[in-house]
Structure 1
Amino acid sequence: MASAAAPRTYYARPMTKWEYATVPLLVHATKQILDTWGEDGWELVQVVPGPNNPEQLVAYLKREKQA
């Protein structure tokens, strides 16, 4: 006699919601700027050249949105 497998139960987690910030980086203070934002819970996602001046860097940051 074959036994029936118990049905699997799946639990959905609520979707994580994020907020984003773009921050201009000053070459002489990059670490200090990123450390300051990091202490406020922001995570660095990417650094790219600025849209109007490729020598000006822009940091993209994210953190979990507070309810």
Structure 2
Amino acid sequence: MVGPVSREDRLTASRRIKIGFVVLVGLSAGLITLQGDASLLAFAFATCAGLVAGAIVVWLAFPQGLGFRR
């Protein structure tokens, strides 16, 4: 039988999901700019802006904090 999930495992999984979501939003913003034949600078700016937007969305969706720290 499998026992209950420990608090440490739950926090690790939550942290990975949050980081993955932030990266997904950031890369999505960058890839959208590449479809419009943007320059490398525009791609980098859009990716950074997407990462910030993703962090804000995670912060709003999980009011207890980003949970990146232990």
State TM-score, norm by structure 1.
Answer: 0.26
Q: Which has the higher strand share?
A: 1
The structure with the largest alpha-carbon Rg is 1
Q: Which has the higher helix share?
A: 2
